[in-house]
Amino acid sequence: MRSVSYFALTAFLSFGLLVSFISPVKAAVDIDPALLPDRSQLVRDALFLGRDLAVLRERLSEADSRSLTLYLNLDSYSVERFQSLSVRVNGQAIVEQRLNPRSSDPVGLKQIRSVALPSGDYKLEVHLASADEKLSESIKFVKGSGRDQVKILVSFNASKSSTQKPPEITLAHEQWGELK
Amino acid sequence: MSWLKVAVLFLSITPFVVQGGNFSEIENISFSHAYSYYQQGDSLNALSLIMAAREMKHLGDDSVEAELFLAENLARMGVVDEALGVYRKIAEHAKSVRLQDTAWLEYAKLSHQQGRYKEAFRALAKIKKSMSGGQQQERQLIQAHAYLAEGKTKAAVKALPKISAESLWAMYQYFNIGVELIEKHRSKHGALVLHHLTKLDVKGQTEREAIRDQAALALGFSLLKMNKAAKARVYFDKVRLDGHLSGIALLGMGWAYSQSGDYEKALIYWLELQERASNSAYSYESLLAVPYAYSKAGAYKQSIEQYKISQKRIDTEIVKLTNAQRSIKSGNLVAMVSTVPDDELAWYGKLAYAASALESRVMPLLMANPGFQKSLMEYRSLLQLDKYVRQMKVQLNELQQLSPKDRSGADLQALNQRYKKLTQQLRLSLNANLQQLEQQAVNTLARYKVQLETYIEQARFGMAQAIEGAIVGAKGER
């Protein structure tokens, strides 16, 4: 007598379904090797085009003028806590921004402003404000170079001893290019 | 270049990207800017920014870490030769021995994945001794796999380490070696390798748990084929019931009890499989398995009823598959695949709830085909690439406004031409890929239809057996 179990199991095995369990897709090669050359070439071309665009943009802004580029990184806690951000250079406001915790901005490091670099020494101030508190940090930079970049990082620090420290602003400064 | 040394701590960055690399502290602005794109899932922008910063020598003291990050992600995207070039450069120029070793190890892993075993061996030979436990295991696994590729099974088995769950890469390789030892080399060591994987403590680590489930399944079915049903059950039992592989484990468990002649226990697992809401190749199996087990257990009446239910369901499923094929041919596949989450380990559970449209209900069947999964992944990668390239048009237009009519104007024109060529090629590639995906979907559904059509005959035959059994049983009682 023919056995149903035999046929069912045979159909199952011959259908090749087991293959999906004994070859993890991510194991050795992520993509179908037959398709790899085409796509990898496209990815390569796109990345190099993106790189060259970024380099040209940088070169144009270098040639254009001495500049100060500001990057901002707020953690999600600080976005919730503060409603506004302002940045001043030598007392002049260059950024006045409302923070909106419901929007996707500005958690994560983002370029927020690029302005002409003041000549000589300059003072940079960052102010964050909520309804009942203000947080400020300022720093003086000795001479702007050709290209100054400042990263403003606002983070809330919770210590291991469960004593919560208030948010802190830290400023990181880099200069590229020749002094003019 | 002057540096204002401040402690910049990126709390959300987890050091998983490059083993041996430490991304918990990134001071360099260019790198951290690029890395924030990566964190938001935009790897292409992240890489092009790092490549630009590298070109302009803006990576400062973080350049080695940035390049390790770059190489790993280039490799992930299939830009292999560039990735190998970056690893080699780091290995030859990094000041720290730890970073040199990490770069040589990554170089060896990538060469190994490309099947360039000699190159991998040469890179391994340059590694000194500053590696972590996980890295040591990776090194031994590359050696073992290379021996296996040369047919040196004994040497491969000797080189195999007993791995921990520290390196995910090592777990995948270990699994592959285990399966290869069983399938190609008929070596009992393969079973030991898989057994070891099933014993690793990986609770709560989704991807590792999935590998462990796969190892248990592969071992369970291997034992079942060798008629060792009791041992097979031990491994089917290890597969998580809430994981995406639980359907096939239920099926296997049923077969294991059926092989031992315990049809009532087999029914418990097959009925559970049958009751699951979503369609899958395994629930199709239960259409025959359940009435078969009833019949074998002497419950002929239930068996006949179940065969009738199955026959109706088979007819309905065939109509559904035909409609889905028609829908795909009318260009609806793009909408259908949009229900599949990006995370391949999450697709099963989410689809079971999300699939309300008739067409989407066939997605679990398509996703059970590894060829379709791969093509879908390829298609989605191309879509991401397309999105990235579209953004470039905006940047090109912005630069057009800024650019004076001098040398940079000529550069911009050249970039524009490259952009046009790239978009044309990308369009062709996307169209070809979608066509291939559609063809694959239609063919996969056709195979399911053939499978179900053979079930019609088997169900008829099974029902005749059950009726015969019922008549013989009734005569015996008289």
**pLDDT band per the 50, 70, 90 thresholds, residue A163:** low
- Going across the sheet that includes A84-89, the strands are A92-98, A84-89, A122-129, A134-141
DSSP B144-166: HHHHHHTT-HHHHHHH-----SS
Contacts of residue A149, defined as CB under 8 A and 6 or more positions apart, other chains included, come to A68, A69, A70, A71, A173, A174, A175, A176, B29, B30
What is the per-residue pLDDT across B191-217, written as a single tens digit (0 to 9) for each? Answer: 999 999 999 999 888 888 988 998 999
Query: Does an H or E element contain B314, and which?
Result: helix B300-329
User: Shortest CB distance from A42 goes to which of B12, B218, B425?
Assistant: B425
Q: Which two tokens stand for residue B196?
A: 């070891």
Lowest mean pLDDT among A144-158, B80-94, B251-265, B452-466: A144-158
CA-based nearest residue to B303, from B452, B473, B471, B465: B465
- Which residues from A are below 8 Å from B211, CB to CB? 24
Q: Do B79 and A71 touch (CB under 8 A)?
A: no
Query: Is residue B25 within 8 Å of residue A94, measured between CB atoms?
Result: no
Q: Do B403 and A60 touch (CB under 8 A)?
A: yes
Contacts of residue B59, defined as CB under 8 A and 6 or more positions apart, other chains included, come to B28, B30, B31, B50, B53, B66, B67
Suggest the residue from B9, B29, B415 to mutate for an interface test with chain A (most A CBs closer than 10 A): B29
Q: Do B461 and A111 touch (CB under 8 A)?
A: no
Q: Which two tokens stand for residue A13?
A: 């095995």
Q: What percent of chain B has pLDDT over 70?
A: 87
Query: Is residue B280 within 8 Å of residue B247, measured between CB atoms?
Result: yes
Mean pLDDT of B265-294: 86
A64 CB near a chain B CB, below 8 Å? yes
A117 SS3 class = coil
pLDDT of residue A176: 64
Report the sign of the C-alpha dihedral through residues B348, B351, B353, B357, in that order.
Answer: negative
What is the per-residue pLDDT across A27-58, written as a single tens digit (0 to 9) for each? Answer: 333 334 444 447 889 999 999 999 999 998 88
**pLDDT band per the 50, 70, 90 thresholds, residue B449:** very high
What is the per-residue pLDDT across B365-380, written as a single tens digit (0 to 9) for each? Answer: 888 787 888 888 888 8
Q: Which residue of B has its CA nearest to A174?
A: B3
B168 SS3 class = helix
* B364 pLDDT higher than 90: no
What is the per-residue pLDDT across B89-127, written as a single tens digit (0 to 9) for each? Answer: 999 998 888 889 989 999 999 999 888 988 998 999 898
Calpha distance B335→B341 (Å, rounded): 13
* B173 pLDDT higher than 80: yes
Q: Which two tokens stand for residue B121?
A: 């061996």
* B362 pLDDT higher than 70: yes
Contacts of residue B242, defined as CB under 8 A and 6 or more positions apart, other chains included, come to B349
A34 CB near a chain B CB, below 8 Å? no
* B305 pLDDT higher than 90: yes
Suggest the residue from A1, A19, A40, A53 to mutate for an interface test with chain B (most B CBs closer than 10 A): A53
pLDDT of residue B438: 92
* Range ranked top by mean pLDDT from A171-175, B63-67, B244-248, B404-408: B63-67
**pLDDT band per the 50, 70, 90 thresholds, residue B262:** very high
pLDDT of residue B216: 94
Query: Is residue B424 within 8 Å of residue B433, measured between CB atoms?
Result: no
**pLDDT band per the 50, 70, 90 thresholds, residue B20:** very low
Flag whether the ipTM exceeds 0.85: no
- Which residues from A are below 8 Å from B388, CB to CB? 46, 50
* B467 pLDDT higher than 90: yes
Residue ranges of E strands in A6-164:
67-74, 84-89, 92-98, 110-116, 122-129, 134-141, 147-155
pLDDT of residue A102: 63
Q: Do A27 and B176 touch (CB under 8 A)?
A: yes
- Which residues from B are below 8 Å from A146, CB to CB? none
pLDDT of residue A10: 35
**pLDDT band per the 50, 70, 90 thresholds, residue B336:** confident
pLDDT of residue B283: 80
pLDDT of residue A62: 65
The C-alpha of A46 sits at a distance from chain B's nearest C-alpha, in angstroms, of 7
What is the per-residue pLDDT across B41-85, written as a single tens digit (0 to 9) for each? Answer: 889 999 999 999 999 888 888 888 899 999 999 998 889 999 999
pLDDT of residue B107: 95
Q: Do B411 and A56 touch (CB under 8 A)?
A: yes
Calpha distance B37→A86 (Å, rounded): 24
Q: Which two tokens stand for residue B197?
A: 């994987």
Q: How much of chain A is in helix, strand and coil states, percent to nearest 5?
A: 30, 35, 35
What is the per-residue pLDDT across B317-334, written as a single tens digit (0 to 9) for each? Answer: 999 999 999 999 999 888
The pTM of this model reads 0.75
What is the per-residue pLDDT across A101-151, written as a single tens digit (0 to 9) for each? Answer: 665 554 566 777 777 777 778 888 888 888 777 777 777 776 656 667 777
B40 SS3 class = coil
* A179 pLDDT higher than 80: no
Q: Do A28 and B113 touch (CB under 8 A)?
A: yes
Helix intervals (H) in B19-62? 29-39, 43-55
Instruction: List the 119-158 stretch of A: residues with Cβ below 8 A of B.
Output: 139, 141, 145, 149, 151, 153, 155
pLDDT of residue B359: 53
Calpha distance B336→B318 (Å, rounded): 19
